[in-house]
Structure 1
Amino acid sequence: MKLSTRSEYAFLALLDLARAERRGMVTLGTLARRHRLSRKYLARIMRRLEDEGLVRAKRGASGGYVLGRPAGQISMAEVVRALDGPIASVRAASTYFYKPSAIEREPALVGFFREIRDMVACKMERTTLRDMLRRERPFSERTGTK
């Protein structure tokens, strides 16, 4: 599965908003600087996320962005769908991000790649921004190794 830069940048911004969930608004400038992103491009992404209800925006001097819902209620799949459309890898599964290939002449291969797509989609549906924050603990803490 290949993510667009729109989805990648959205994930970066949303994780920052999830980290700041209890502290309040985060400005567009802060998000853009922190991740070295084009402010103009990030603004378009944030508008799309706002349209989809994933973030709320407040205009003005004390404005910025907050998550539209609690981090535990926003799935990774929702973010990808908001920016890129359905999650799929072969034409039979989606008309988005489709690139013709010889594999499609082999039903067994098409079936196999659909299964992989479905596993990825299920994992993304079950994983929330809150889950991603939990993954930030140091590797040694998660695994009990040093």
Structure 2
Amino acid sequence: MAGCDRWQQLGLGSPGAGAAGYTWASIWQSSFKKNSAIASLMAGDERIVDVALGGDHTAVLTSSKNVYCWGRGGQGQLGVAGAPFVSAPMKSTKLSGDPAVRVICALRDCTATVNEDGNVINSAGKCEKVLVEGFKECLRAAKHNKLI
């Protein structure tokens, strides 16, 4: 799995190959390095099933239907109350826990959880225009990866 936004990239290896989260350690760095925050999240009992990167934030969906977000959250896109910036994965209270969630989409200042029919379950941030404009690409990728 992989994703990118305007400042970062995130790649997750397969569990059989010793999965670890890899990202650029800083903006415009020339090497791809293991991200300790992602690695610690992946070291737990939860398995990461989807990743999404918005304008300046990252979201991951786990096998237990929890969503962890980090990055810029000034528009509420992390689903964590009062969090203008989060530097390490934090469980999103607004986006986590619904058993119907299959996919996470992050677009600009918006994060949304999606069910197997491609319908939005919950969203956080400024999502009105973004869900119309960029949502189709997220669903196309989810179908391609057999998540929905």
Calculate the TM-score normalised by the size of structure 2. Answer: 0.33
More helix by share: 1
**Structure with more relative contact order (C-alpha pairs < 8 Å, separation 6 or more):** 1
Greater strand percent: which structure?
2
